A and B are shown apart, each in its own frame.
Chain A
Amino acid sequence: MAEGMIGYTGRQLRVQLGEACSRVEPLNRDALQKYLGGTGYACKLLYDELPPGVDPLGPLNKLVFATGPLCSNAVPGGGSVELCFKSPLTGGWGESRAGSDFGPDLRRAGYDHVIIEGRAEQPVYLVIQDDAVAFRPAAHLAGKTVGEKLGIIAGELPEGRFTIGAIGPAGEHLVKYASVMFGDRAAGRGGAGAVMGAKNLLAIAVSGSGKIEPGDAEALKAALRKAVATLRANPTTVAFHEHGTMGDYAGNDEKGDFPTRNWQANSWGKGAELFDRYEAANFIKPYPCYRGCHIACARKAQVKSGPYQTPEHGGAEYESMACFTSYVLNQDVDAAVHCSYLCNQYGLDTISAGSTIAFAMECAEKGILTAQQLSGLDLSWGNAAVLPVLLRMIAHREGVGDLLADGVRLASRHLGQGSEAFAVHVKGMEGPAHDGRSGKALALSYGTGNRGMCHIHPVEAMAWDSGKMDWGLQPHGLPDPEGVGRWDEAGKGSALKLLQDGLNLPEILCTCKFFMYAGITVEHWAELLSALLGRATSGADLLAVAERVYTLQRLFNIREGFTVADDQLPERVKAVPAFGRYRDEPACAIQDYGAMLREYYTARGWDPETGVPTGQTLRRLQIT
């Protein structure tokens, strides 16, 4: 192994679809030092290689399947793959993670990253088996659901254990929030599926037989034992396994962390009742999304009978269930489970899909979407029956589905008539099922998230000031959450900088962030990484890398024309809720968002008014 690349395969595979060829390249050693892997390495690559202003759905956009040095079945959370791209939904930085064996298998095949370029003339799928890379015709897969595609491809693959990532009809129809599916697990947010569809690439299958030797095998064993012992002693590990992400469904409703009726309120009052119904009728069992997971928080769910009968499948996560219940006032849990399943089959991001339907319901209520535009569909709040119909129309861009397939930002621009005021998004990405009125750090995190109003990076803000978690970051300067009021505003900006850096590390290392909720700290990651790379790395070193990555992603967006205006929140999500238990609680509303934003920019070393990283900051972070 080349010097400085211990712990990596040392290679990346560059695929040119237009010419049906590929080549193997050495990793960029300087980028490894500064950005490690995952979303860090991929950001550096895309920043250097993508021309500013490139069409996200054109052949010049690139899609990186990225891994990192901790991407391994043996490492806690290491069954991950990060997809990085310019997002068709936001026009800015795009990244999306899936829990899957795909990442570890890719590394076993001998590649840390696959870079997809160009556009195939006809639909193809890619088969990577160690050194062999094959381009397979895929016309027979066109129009098939994800499940159908996976089944057909599995029957066509050579001997070996393969992991497959595939798009559904939504990706083929360039729905701007189409996902890439790894079985039932989604790289859902930001439209990676549309980028793949635009390239006529319907799936990638990977199988590998190699092994990556760590720099210090004994130290790795010791670090793994320590990490696993930490996980086993942490009650959150049990809670994730027993309840999955749905576990907080009722609690979020109660504490005002539950966007309701297209964000008109932050609580509904139905959470406990619907959670019980889901547990009794739909939940089957937990399962791991990759081999070796120590938590296994994913859920097998089903609908046994009735109009929404749904086979056993992996899904019904908290975000999906909230988006198909509280967002649209649907009280039929069977319908919500069914919609989550349909999104997986169509290859649709459940959050953007549910959010966009909630937006459409409000448009229909206000007469902005007419009966003629809706082809007679009844978009009344709570009408469960219309949800599956709309999902099919969105995935295939039929009727009003064509408009909704572009997301709420573009749909509201098209419709006008004041609909922009209730198109809830940041940077074009629809908001997930947590509400900044439950804790103000979350509001700021939504505004400043590099990929928009996402459910991954901002959630720790909520879990800190409202949930009282600290992830072992207090020694690095994070204020003790016990001394912080959830509705305080001062101090949230500076704390958020550290929260974002610390909890962005899993995306860079290519692990699952839930492991940090279950006790794994930056020091655990540093010990594991030191053993793998054979050189000492500290938690502080990793936080410095994370800060560099976050800033480079910011620069990516700035180069695409993003300004301070793109860090603003919709007025609706800052206001006192229109109904529910927090209606008479003005303290939950955002009082001075501008002040929070300036505090945050200052903490990051960005200009306090424009949010542009200063030259001094770029020199400190060695961003060139």
Chain B
Amino acid sequence: MIRVVLQACGPLRETFGAPELGFELADGATLGDLLDRIGADHGERLAGSIWNLRERRFRGPVVIMAGSRAVKDRATPLHDQQVVRLYKAVVGG
């Protein structure tokens, strides 16, 4: 098992009800696995504006950062004790 920490930044802290959430995932887990777990654990209560319930992915300008790099490919491997940060940007102009 690996443990991945999701840090919700800015207004997303309120969305998730906490600034930080831990997820236990199987060895070799990928970003897709993390998204599936987010969907299973939180999907029903996440707002439709940021979460696509059917496709188990974020909707709109939500960015997942691993270190200084944005990640979006579901096949991106995750490692134990990895911290991923979640941002929602303001982009509508």
Contact B70–A235 (Cβ < 8 Å): yes
Given A242-B63, A275-B60, A468-B10, A247 contacting B91 (CB threshold 8 A) = yes
The answer to whether B19 has its CB under 8 Å from any CB of chain A is no
Segment of B21-29, B31-39, B44-52 engaged in the interface with chain A:
B44-52
A247 neighbours in B (Cβ, 8 Å): 60-61, 89, 91-92
Contact A455–B93 (Cβ < 8 Å): yes
Contact B90–A517 (Cβ < 8 Å): yes
Contact B90–A242 (Cβ < 8 Å): no
A468 neighbours in B (Cβ, 8 Å): 10-11
Contact A459–B70 (Cβ < 8 Å): no
The interface size of chain A toward B, counting residues with CB under 8 Å, comes to: 41
Given A235-B63, A275-B59, A468-B10, A243 contacting B91 (CB threshold 8 A) = yes
The answer to whether B65 has its CB under 8 Å from any CB of chain A is yes
Minimal beta-carbon separation of A500 from chain B (angstroms): 16
Contact of A240 (CB < 8 Å), options: B48, B62, B89 = B89
The answer to whether A154 has its CB under 8 Å from any CB of chain B is no
Q: B62-93: contact bitstring with A at CB < 8 Å (1 yes, 0 no)? A: 11010010101000000000000101111111
The answer to whether A138 has its CB under 8 Å from any CB of chain B is no
A37 to B47, CA, bound (A): 44
The answer to whether A271 has its CB under 8 Å from any CB of chain B is yes
Contact B91–A272 (Cβ < 8 Å): no
The residue on A at minimum CB distance from B93 is: A245
The answer to whether A25 has its CB under 8 Å from any CB of chain B is no
A297 to B89, CA, bound (A): 13
Given A249-B60, A468-B11, A238 contacting B70 (CB threshold 8 A) = yes
The residue on A at minimum CB distance from B65 is: A235
The answer to whether A562 has its CB under 8 Å from any CB of chain B is no
Minimal beta-carbon separation of B32 from chain A (angstroms): 17
A442 to B68, CA, bound (A): 33
The answer to whether A281 has its CB under 8 Å from any CB of chain B is no
Contact A248–B60 (Cβ < 8 Å): yes
B61 neighbours in A (Cβ, 8 Å): 236, 239-240, 242-243, 247-248, 251
A-B CB contacts (within 8 Å), total count:
101
B52 neighbours in A (Cβ, 8 Å): 272, 276
The interface size of chain B toward A, counting residues with CB under 8 Å, comes to: 24
Minimal beta-carbon separation of A167 from chain B (angstroms): 23
Contact A238–B92 (Cβ < 8 Å): no
Minimal beta-carbon separation of A274 from chain B (angstroms): 12
A255 to B90, CA, bound (A): 12
The answer to whether A184 has its CB under 8 Å from any CB of chain B is no
Q: Which of A427-463 contact B (CB under 8 A)?
A: 433-434, 455-456, 459, 463
The residue on B at minimum CB distance from A273 is: B48
Contact A254–B91 (Cβ < 8 Å): no
Contact A252–B92 (Cβ < 8 Å): yes
Given A238-B63, A239-B63, A272-B49, A249 contacting B92 (CB threshold 8 A) = yes
Contact B89–A235 (Cβ < 8 Å): yes
Name which of B62, B70, B92 has the most chain A CB atoms within 10 A of its CB. B92
B59 neighbours in A (Cβ, 8 Å): 250, 272, 275-276
Contact B93–A239 (Cβ < 8 Å): no
Contact of A250 (CB < 8 Å), options: B49, B72, B85 = B49
Contact B49–A239 (Cβ < 8 Å): no
Contact of B49 (CB < 8 Å), options: A238, A271, A459 = A271
The answer to whether A233 has its CB under 8 Å from any CB of chain B is yes
Contact of A459 (CB < 8 Å), options: B65, B68, B93 = B93
A517 neighbours in B (Cβ, 8 Å): 89-91
Contact of B48 (CB < 8 Å), options: A248, A250, A463 = A250
The residue on A at minimum CB distance from B85 is: A235
Contact A469–B70 (Cβ < 8 Å): no
* 22 A–B contacts from the bound complex (CB under 8 Å): A235-B70, A235-B85, A238-B63, A238-B89, A239-B87, A239-B88, A239-B91, A240-B89, A242-B72, A243-B91, A247-B61, A248-B92, A249-B92, A250-B59, A251-B88, A254-B48, A272-B49, A272-B59, A276-B59, A456-B93, A463-B90, A514-B93
Q: Which 4 pairs from chain A and chain B are nearest by CB?
A: A248-B92, A239-B89, A247-B61, A239-B61
